[in-house]
Structure 1
């Protein structure tokens, strides 16, 4: 396109009004400026676009051909402006959230349920992966916000604390009874059992590995599992000892389905919360969500 949009706007307005004087009033520019713009456009396309009549100007055959496409373009622009205006009025937007499947189920869903009820025109996309992967997506601007365990390095990341989580080891009663029958003492359960942990790419797993190493607990037999729900299910049926988040098995602990393994050295609690980049201006949808979770109870 050799001409800028304003030239086609002038052409479109003159064609609609059929009169340079009327077009000048509508566009708030002088008649000579309109005539000059039309002349430059005609020189650019290599043909006459208007012919003069007693009432003003009329499109030539070539002008009519160009007008068909120009009018379609401006109608599309007008439609886009109207849709944008309606979307702003309705609060239409898109929010991309990163979260692990575990935190999504147990922590994020209650927030989303109420947020969607209050903001039905904001669509939600959720990427489920580990905290490490969520931080990478944040860094690459592929998500707006993440629900994560608090990382050690918060460079360019704003972290809003949500709650503390506590990692514990649990097993079914029958599994512990069998260990006891084999003469396994309470302080050697972890070393003598099949230990079920999240896979090594998970921040929780890295945290637990550090705990085991610091306390010189050597694991003989372990199973890596990608999903905490599966860890809990396997523990319930007696596959082994699972490392889980205490809040997520509270009902199992209360009804006796699972038993907490006593530890000589407790695992320190961790913080989880919402995180977003400080180097990028929040979109309207993200700003709405941030305001929501800060006031939600």
Structure 2
């Protein structure tokens, strides 16, 4: 059993926090077959997934993901319906080249019916929050608050279409994908999204959020102490706020409680170590603050969707 010193990181999780998942685990929540892509451990801030879907008459509960999600229809036509939990269904007919942009912190429901075909194929692209933050500071100023995007369903955008297809071609068709090219495409796409699909209310909603420079200072402090227990008081001191106000303002800025964000940073570091080094799983767990291998495996599987050993082998 994990020593009590590690337990506080789970105490202030809310039900909405628990519904947030990582991009890696999305295939476990969707029907249809996912196409395996080349594993590029050095690729950061960009994750691509390809799916082939049959019709789904029964609603699918789609979990919220921390990162904004872009979905491009690669082939086929379908009638797609979406709704927030307890809300009314909204339908849109989509075909090759249409895209979706989702930036919600809450799960939602979907169902779809293929039209004139057995399956339709889609591409998922997740853009990392650090990439979005860098692009936002470049476009909007160094002290801009974290941004959010509008939710878009079944729209056409030639630039989005072109850049997503270029990313797909580079990652799948090239024998040796260029990380520089992939990152350049992702950066250009992020800039385009901020210019065209920025939620105009995001600044208003985050007016009481933690300022960008304080947020970066806190995240730096978290990264410096991933092996230590979560200390809310220390982070609040870094931000020069009371614990109560710090927790509220941090969540307004990131969508996550400080403890949950800390866990995500731990898991990000663990994923890097599992893929980039040959260190034992026990050592990796210790590096990110888990003295109990079973506890590390439990948290990793909950956050990533696979056990550490399965993630390394995949």
TM-score with structure 1 length normalisation?
A: 0.18
TM-score with structure 2 length normalisation?
A: 0.17
Bigger radius of gyration among the two: 1
> Which of the two has greater helix per residue?
1
